Chain A
Amino acid sequence: MSDVAHADHGHAEHPKVPYFLIAGALFVMTVITIAVSYVNLGKMGNVALALFVASIKASLVMLFFMHLKYERKTLIIISLVPYGLALILLLALFPDIVFG
């Protein structure tokens, strides 16, 4: 029995995840991040762009490699909670950042 036939019959509920496409996108975005870091967009511009691209890459990893796109809503909510807490943590550090 071929892999494809096996996958179709035994695990019909498994979605086809475009793993190679996602890996390709992550490769391209890594190259873009490095290339753009040599272009002067102003300190904040470079930082914002690098973190924006990193966030997209992280989202792709979570959605496709970690299968979050195909998971139950409960698990998706659980997995997102710490990002809210991390945001609160950064906001709590804000006075230290501003007033040093």
Chain B
Amino acid sequence: MSHAHVIDPAEPAIEDVYNGKLAMWLFLCSEVMFFSGLLGAYIALRLNNPEIFEASQKQLHDHVGLAAFNTLLLISSSLTMALAVLHGQNKNTAKQRLMLLVTAVMGTLFLGLKFYEYSTHIRVGEVPSKDMFFAFYYTLTGLHGFHILCGVVPMVGLWYYAGKQDVSAETEMVGLYWHFVDLVWIFLFPMLYLI
């Protein structure tokens, strides 16, 4: 750095909060409320109808292994996304693009496994209209899956444009979004499959 830049230890900053980053955080705040409403409804209805929910939840027990693998996949993709952001900030474009691509592939694999899981349920008649549990199961995982798709698409775009121009700020914004999608799954996985 050409001039001394004094950082107050109480306020460490990666860099200034630029508009896009603030906008992404505000959007994620609204996303927290979006999922809170759905999870709140899930909790309220489940506590009032424990028999229905617990009987149907048992049908997911065969898929815990697959869902656990998907969980580890999402955590790994969060790691590679964080590395993509880091390499982007360090102007290491080749590694940034590689990490973006790896993250997008893992996100796509997550979706593929999710659709496989859906197909095994649908084949035995476990469709959204079966009961309240499956209505919630498809709504929550479907909306989460849609969020995954909405992360993978810009990731591929960033992978393409990173070769042409500096997209480190955009990578950071998509990164924030991607970590949030991971965060939602951290709660969905135990709430739907385990408890």
- Residues in A lying within 8 Å of B, measured CB to CB: 3, 6-7, 9-15, 17, 19-20, 22-23, 26-27, 30, 33-34, 37, 46-47, 50-51, 53-54, 57-58, 61-62, 64-67, 70-75, 78-79, 81-83, 85-86, 89-90, 93, 96-97, 100
Contacts and interface: CB of A to CB of B under 8 A. Distances in A.
Given A13-B15, A66-B179, A89-B37, 13 more contacts: A19-B79, A19-B82, A34-B194, A50-B190, A61-B183, A61-B186, A65-B78, A70-B12, A79-B28, A83-B32, A90-B40, A93-B44, A97-B43
Contacts of B37: 89
Contacts, number: 150
B11 interface: yes
A56 B47 CA distance: 24
Contacts of A61: 78, 179, 182-183, 186
A54 B22 contact: no
B40 A62 contact: no
A21 B71 CA distance: 17
